[in-house]
Structure 1
Amino acid sequence: MIRPFASSRRAYVRVVRASAWYDLVVTAGFATPWTYALVHGALSSLGDASGLGALPERDVIQTLYANLMGSVVVVWALLRIVRPLPAHGLLDGVARTLFAAWQAYALAHGAPRWLWLFLVVEVAFGIVQLVPWCWARRSGLAAEAAGPAVGQPLGVETP
């Protein structure tokens, strides 16, 4: 009965892992104050040179929030690389929807236009990870396709 989602499960898990690699590459530089200083400088220089807008000057609170976001996203990305599950794709799709909403909000309020590049990727990965869940939900397969049940040890298949 779970064949429609299960037959594409391997491909879906590859998408979950690919989105995790993207997140790791893009956000690793945000995880520490020292690397964020380099990323901030690079993004500002590129945005200024391309005419798409520079970032405001760094301050301690901006750095703190960048480091918090970078640290959490790096850990989340590592989980999805090491142990990708369909449920991780669902949760990542939801997170990407939130990230895209906040990026759109920032763009509407004067953020540098280069942020559009990141917004497009967030929306694309969000769609690719959420659409199969919408299809599975319509056919009543979403709960069965999610992976291990809550509270069940990883690596133990449900009967």
Structure 2
Amino acid sequence: MSRLRTPASPAYLRVVRASAWYDLAVTAGFATPWTYALVHDALSSCGNALGLGALPELDLWQILFANLMGSVVVVWAVLRIVGPLPEHGLFDGIARALFATWQAYALAHGVSQLLWLFFGVEVTFGVLQLVPWRRGGNACRARMRNADHRSTGRSLT
């Protein structure tokens, strides 16, 4: 983990970009009703084949929320692929902590055990993107404060 010492390092930005590529690959199919139906069927079949359980039957509310989540995550992923910034890793790490929390909640309440596969990736990318901020993020935090002051026109003095 020493290569990820600071959020501004090239290795850290590669992690931010890799997490974005993962998100794009996994969630692009959630972005439309037609592709979500295909993804839903594939995940249900996979869950059954592995003995982890199928997904619930499709309904319009589930499709709507899957499409909303898929659309937002696809846009967020493309932003991090095109121009990853240290701050993107910080916010993505926070979002992954939230996603993992709600996935753990769902797992504790009986959803398909197939969710464990996604949970593991959320936690891994979350840790990889948040730990460097705790260790060596002072320079990046200072840079963010300075950028904020420049954008608002306020002086640091």
Task: Tell me the TM-score normalized by structure 1.
Answer: 0.86
Offset of residue 142 of structure 1: 3.7
- How many residue pairs match? The answer is 147
Rounded Cα–Cα distance in structure 2 between residues aligned with 1:97 and 1:73: 15
Structure with more helix by fraction: 2
Offset of residue 56 of structure 1: 0.5
Offset of residue 49 of structure 1: 1.6
Offset of residue 114 of structure 1: 1.0
Rounded Cα–Cα distance in structure 2 between residues aligned with 1:82 and 1:147: 23
Rounded Cα–Cα distance in structure 1 between residues aligned with 2:54 and 2:79: 33
Rounded Cα–Cα distance in structure 1 between residues aligned with 2:67 and 2:145: 31
Rounded Cα–Cα distance in structure 2 between residues aligned with 1:73 and 1:49: 28
Distance change (3 Å), C-alpha of 1:10 and 1:68: same
2:63 maps to 1:66: no
* Residue of structure 2 aligned with 1:144, choices 133, 142, 146: 142
The one-letter amino acid paired with 1:58 is L
Task: Tell me the TM-score normalized by structure 2.
Answer: 0.87
Distance change (3 Å), C-alpha of 1:147 and 1:66: farther
Offset of residue 9 of structure 1: 1.1
Indicate the residue corresponding to 1:156 in structure 2: none
8 Å Cα contact 1:86-1:147 kept in structure 2: no
Offset of residue 146 of structure 1: 5.0
User: What's the RMSD between the two structures over aligned residues?
Assistant: 2.0
Offset of residue 151 of structure 1: 7.8
- In the TM superposition, what are the counterparts of 1:25-64 in structure 2 within 5 Å? 25-64=25-64
Offset of residue 105 of structure 1: 0.4
Gaps of at least 5 residues in structure 2 are: 152-157
Rounded Cα–Cα distance in structure 1 between residues aligned with 2:29 and 2:16: 21
Gaps of at least 5 residues in structure 1 are: 154-159
